[in-house]
């Protein structure tokens, strides 16, 4: 086997070795559904929502009583020479209950509950944002594999063309109709074509690895068809309007403002009175062997006067955080608008590039065919043929790149508009949601019901 034949055989083994012989074509929706179901990034974000939601229960506990029961029992031994009371003494024990509740804390706990709820809402939007990022990464990997597979095939055809030109130049040289320069030029282009082909193989391997990372398995006979229906924005203004209303990053920024406002309220409330009620009941063994019970209720009022500057510093920092959250929201809005405009421009540009590349490919094919014919009758040189083929290959690669870029830009526009989600794309999956879990943690009496169960 020749060197070029070995290159082709090895490269094709890399390209198609991971594709099952009779595997059905995997559509983009199937790849997106697989990623949505199995991708650890989305699962991690979902768990983060649940973890954050527990803060609601923790904050609510500040307004509810703490109730406990305690029991004790024991015995005492005393032995030894010279001990007047040596012997065995049994303490039959004591059973008591305690109750502790904050009756008023200047509404600090209410502010903390609001902050915990806002943090949970923020984490829900972060989950949606991660979902968008993962799905967009799947799209990029999907069309990168398609693009690189097509480039591999194109460059393989290009190698075959230059192989034929080298053979033709050799034949013409032996017949006295060509020169060594023609052979040298054809061989040089042949070597460049081999290098370009190997580069395409390396790029395809990278794309396949990225695909497996996001989707969870190797690519299988991908198809470039996708029907957007009415999901794509029809104008840049409608895209911006959709983004300002639905983009999860912007909604997260607005939730962060709520978090900071509640944090500021909680910090201010700390500089106020706090009233606690402390109760206790002793039911058994309260007075040794004498029967009886006892109970007590105490109210404790505390008012901070000076805390070494800590209260003032916490209030100032909370106010700064509130201002910062509003500035961050403005920055997020500007970034999202920029991403919408960029995606829209990329979509329009790639569409124009496709039209231009299609025209260049059509004319380039005619030029190559005509140049070969003219070279055969001595009106053109081998270099003219090589240059014409190089221009045609460049136009074909441009068309492949433009088609891939247009699809990626379309999905990027969906993401920038806040519409790249499993629900919007109508994927055949169970939507990840922590709403049920959040409702559960809002139920602060579940611990007592768990004891009954």
Extract the tokens encoding 28. 């983009």
As a whole number of angstroms, the distance between CA 261 and CA 121 comes to: 14
- Domain membership of residue 248 (yes or no) is yes
CATH number at residue 186: 1.20.1600.10
- Number of domains present in the structure of the chain: 1
**Long-range Cβ pairs for the range 221-225 (8 Å, 24+):** 221/19, 221/23, 221/24, 221/25, 221/26, 222/25, 222/26, 222/28, 222/31, 222/142, 222/145, 222/146, 222/149, 223/25, 223/26, 223/27, 223/28, 224/143, 224/146, 224/403, 224/407, 225/27
pLDDT value, residue 288: 65
pLDDT value, residue 3: 46
pLDDT value, residue 129: 95
pLDDT value, residue 109: 94
- Domain membership of residue 97 (yes or no) is no
Residues in Cβ contact with 420 at an 8 Å cutoff, skipping those fewer than 6 apart: 131, 132, 135, 136, 411, 414
As a whole number of angstroms, the distance between CA 30 and CA 311 comes to: 55
Burial of 159 by CB count in 10 Å (0-12 exposed, 13-18 middle, 19+ buried)?
buried
For 444, phi and psi rounded to 5 degrees? -80, -10
- Domain membership of residue 50 (yes or no) is yes
268: closest CA among 204, 222, 318? 318
- Domain membership of residue 225 (yes or no) is yes
pLDDT value, residue 298: 94
322: closest CA among 410, 393, 229, 254? 254
Domain limits for position 27: 3-64+106-271+310-452
- Domain membership of residue 386 (yes or no) is yes
- Domain membership of residue 285 (yes or no) is no
- Domain membership of residue 416 (yes or no) is yes
- Domain membership of residue 255 (yes or no) is yes
Q: Which residues of the chain have pLDDT under 70?
A: 1-24, 75-92, 285, 287-290, 445-453
């Amino acid at each position: 086997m020749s060197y070029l034949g070995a290159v082709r055989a090895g490269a094709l083994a890399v390209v198609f070795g991971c594709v099952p012989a009779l595997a059905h074509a995997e559509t983009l929706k199937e790849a997106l559904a697989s990623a949505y179901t199995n991708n650890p990034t989305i699962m991690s974000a979902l768990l983060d929502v649940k973890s954050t939601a527990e803060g609601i229960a923790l904050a609510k506990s500040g307004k509810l009583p703490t109730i406990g029961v305690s029991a004790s029992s024991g015995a005492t031994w005393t032995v030894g020479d010279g001990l007047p009371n040596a012997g065995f003494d049994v303490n039959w024990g004591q059973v008591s209950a305690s109750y502790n509740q904050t009756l008023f804390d200047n509404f600090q706990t209410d502010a903390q509950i609001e902050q915990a709820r806002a943090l949970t809402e923020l984490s829900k939007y972060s989950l949606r944002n991660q979902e968008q990022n993962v799905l967009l990464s799947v799209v990029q990997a999907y069309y990168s594999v398609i693009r690189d597979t097509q480039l591999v095939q194109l460059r393989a055809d290009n190698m075959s063309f230059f192989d034929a030109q080298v053979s033709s130049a050799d034949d013409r040289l032996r017949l006295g109709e060509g020169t060594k320069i023609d052979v040298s030029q054809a061989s040089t282009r042949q070597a460049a074509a081999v290098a370009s082909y190997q580069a395409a193989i390396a790029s395809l391997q990278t794309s396949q690895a990225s695909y497996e990372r996001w989707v969870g398995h190797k690519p299988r006979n991908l198809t470039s068809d996708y029907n957007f229906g009415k999901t794509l924005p029809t104008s840049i203004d409608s895209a911006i309007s959709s983004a300002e209303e639905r983009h999860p990053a912007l909604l997260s920024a607005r939730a962060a403002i709520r978090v900071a406002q509640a944090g500021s309220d909680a910090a201010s409330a700390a500089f106020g009175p706090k009233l606690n009620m402390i109760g206790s009941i002793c039911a058994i063994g309260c007075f040794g062997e004498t029967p009886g019970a006892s109970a007590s209720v105490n109210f404790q009022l505390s008012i901070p006067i000076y805390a070494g500057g800590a209260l003032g510093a916490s209030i100032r920092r909370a106010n700064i955080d509130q201002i910062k959250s509003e500035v961050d929201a403005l920055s997020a809005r500007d970034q999202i608008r920029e991403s919408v405009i960029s995606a829209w421009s990329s979509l329009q540009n790639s569409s124009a590039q496709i039209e231009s590349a299609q025209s260049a490919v059509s004319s380039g094919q005619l030029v190559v065919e005509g140049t070969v014919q003219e070279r055969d009758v001595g009106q053109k040189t081998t270099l003219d043929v090589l240059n014409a083929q190089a221009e045609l290959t460049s136009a074909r690669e441009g068309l492949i790149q433009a088609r891939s870029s247009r699809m990626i830009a379309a999905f990027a526009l969906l993401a920038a508009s806040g519409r790249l989600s499993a629900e919007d794309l109508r994927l055949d999956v169970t939507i990840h949601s922590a709403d049920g879990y959040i409702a559960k943690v809002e139920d602060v009496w579940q611990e007592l019901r768990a004891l009954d169960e």
